Amino acid sequence: MNAESRLTTPFHSHATATEVIKGVDLAGRRAVVTGGASGIGTETVRALALAGAEVVVATRRPETAEPLVRELAAAPGAGSVRAEALDLSDIDSALAFAQAWRGPLDILVANAGIMALPTRQVSAEGWELQLATNFLGHFALADALHPALRESGSARVVVVSSGAHLNSPFDFDDPHFKRRPYDPWGAYGQSKTADVLLAVGARRWADDGITANAVAPGAILTNLQRHLDDDAMRSFGVMDDEGNLTPLPHYKNPAQGAATSVLLAASPLVKGVTGRYFEDNQEASVVSDSDRSGRVAAHALDQQAADRLWDYAVEAVRR
């Protein structure tokens, strides 16, 4: 991908979610946002609902979304918002959520995630928990919701990835760290590479009017960092000696971090665009030997790897 072919938008890196879809009317559109009860998920829900969309907050503990549901119920012109239970580490939960869905689905934002678990943990299926939650759960959800997305005729899937994918290709020989030493950041990075490959692999749905793209939100302090200890936070320069969080100048707030997700979910500027990776409200360039400033790894956009991963995921999650 050369610079001339990359899609650009007029929005800067710290534009907010509401700014990138200002003037967009989502009345009549239906959306699901996983992990929508906190962090950038909450801001994604808020922006879509305030634009008129009907939004389902899919979260492990629906009661945590109730303040947001009440807030948006009182907001003039906002679409209806409700919370439903979804545990992405449990494939049966993902499939049950999809089976209960009725009617078309216009927007699916695969936003929920966990990061850098200090020790190897596994799901009920024996899958490494970051891969199970961040990728396989979302794949199962999207795959099972495919008929609803197809019914929309112009559905968009947004998969939240991370710059952590850059140094972690997908290891098809040992994806769950059964033989290789477990590494918290390696496992997280692999799951985020898988998320990009999910968007690339979903090009097979283009004839159904479905587009899918991946996004890196940027650096934001949210509860995603809950598994990092104070020493790790201090090493990143975001905690002082007294334990106070101290965001660095380039950090975003959650409303800014949600902007690229919302752009891909609803902006007319990216209509018909699929299988790409965005960051800071722009399509990212690919890291290469001649250009180390790129923000997406070639291994994450590899179509053969995407197809191989899709086949792997289908075999893993379909009941």
CB 166 within 8 A of CB 179: no
Paired strand residues for 216: 279
Rounded to whole angstroms, how far apart are CA atoms 168 and 96?
A: 31
Rounded to whole angstroms, how far apart are CA atoms 187 and 131?
A: 7
CB 149 within 8 A of CB 29: no
Helix (H) or strand (E) run with residue 4 in it: none
Which residue type, as a one-letter code, is found at position 142? A
Distances in Å between the alpha carbon of 28 and those of 85, 135, 170, 209, 268?
A: 23, 29, 38, 17, 16
Q: What is the DSSP secondary structure assignment for residue 263, as one 8-state letter? A: H
CB 219 within 8 A of CB 268: no
Catalytic (active site) residue 312: no
Query: Angle, to 10 degrees, between the axis of helix 184-201 and the axis of helix 137-144?
Result: 20
The sign of the dihedral angle between the CA atoms of 156, 160, 165, 168 is negative
Rounded to whole angstroms, how far apart are CA atoms 278 and 160?
A: 10
CB 79 within 8 A of CB 26: yes
Rounded to whole angstroms, how far apart are CA atoms 71 and 145?
A: 28
Active-site choice (188, 251, 277, 312): 188
Residues recognised as catalytic = 188
